[in-house]
Amino acid sequence: MKNFTLYLVILVFLFVSKVLGQETFESKASSIARKIERVTKEQKKILKEEVEAVNVQLSEGKITQEQADKRKKELAEARAVIIEEKVTLAQNELNDLVQQKVDGKIKEQDSSRIYMIRWERDKCNKDSIRGEKRTTSQFVFATGLNNMMIDGKLQDSNYSFIGSHFYEWGFTYNTRLMKNDNLLHAKYGLSLMYNNIRPTKNRSFVVDGDQTNLEVNTINLDESRFRNVYIVLPVHLEFDFTKPQVKDGKTYFRTHKSFRFGIGGYAGINVKSKQILKFEEEDLKYKTTIKGDYNVNNFIYGLSSYIGYRDISLYLKYDLNPLFKDNLVKENNISLGLRFDLN
């Protein structure tokens, strides 16, 4: 009954917000992030069912172990492609939302209305103030601009500043480090990270032995994009300034209700590198996807930090190792964008 009342109040709040045209940037962004979470969960569930079906065939002797392993790999790759496509659509939707915010097309939140809703929630549910578990979990989604740096200088002449972007999604655990203080938290988890760069001046990457060079393409390109996908383990020390609440002489701790900032880093492996070229010839449009290692480092590690309020943060990350293993000129990836941590 308590949960039903809370859900009902939330639904009323969203309905009123939409009717009055006052839906906030935060609520819209959170909605997009939850959409991505639903997509990943649905696809993982489907993949699990498909893999179980393959295991049944294997146990019944209808296929060999080698055939089963091959089929499972094909199924995993197919689901990964679907997730990537749907996440890209949501990421584009989020980019449009950020642009609307910059253009001032999204109105600010009506603070008096939200306080009224919170008061009604507490009135209906006397036990609504309660402490969280010491370790909680969040779905994380981040997106923004991506580029390269050489000797501390941004390479915005070599790569499109607006066209190059990154996005990241995954899950984290958040553990309060001190029993009776809410300030320090350890934040750790697993993420899938996509780094995209778009070369300028009609150039694309060409492999020459152990060197990977930017060269002018003989074809007039409509788009040149280089993407690297990583599985990473992020770890942060988070400072959460959410104040504890006291009721009936007891202290209750909450998280992600005030200003937060985190400092830390990440490490992981490269799982895919590919170059995407789009061009047009004789009124026919072509799209070429070229997969390979491109002399890209197999491992990635770097520093990252974020600062924000409640669920939304400004997010900065920088690779300490260069993108290409043996290039004479060392280029390091840098990203700046928005990060959403949804309990």
Q: pLDDT in tens for each of the 343 residues of the chain?
A: 444 444 444 544 444 444 444 456 666 777 777 778 787 888 888 888 888 888 888 888 888 888 888 888 888 888 888 887 777 777 777 777 766 765 666 654 443 343 333 433 443 333 344 556 788 889 999 999 999 999 989 898 899 988 899 999 999 999 998 888 888 999 999 999 999 999 999 999 999 999 999 999 988 999 999 999 999 999 999 998 988 887 777 777 888 888 999 999 999 999 999 999 999 988 888 898 999 999 999 999 999 999 999 889 999 999 999 999 999 999 999 999 999 998 7
pTM of the full structure = 0.62
Q: Report which of 3, 26, 244 is spatially closest to residue 132, judged by C-alpha positions.
A: 244
With residues binned 3-state (H G I as helix, E B as strand, rest as coil), the percentages for the chain, rounded to 5, are 30, 45, 25
CB atoms within 10 A of CB 47: 18
Q: Which residues contact 237 (CB under 8 A, 6 or more apart)?
A: 184, 185, 186, 187, 262, 263, 264
Burial readout 282-292 (b: 16 or more C-beta within 10 A, e: otherwise): eeeeeeeeeee
203, two tokens:
């150039």
Give phi and psi for 216, each to the nearest 5: -65, 130
CB atoms within 10 A of CB 136: 16
CB atoms within 10 A of CB 1: 7
84, two tokens:
């990537």
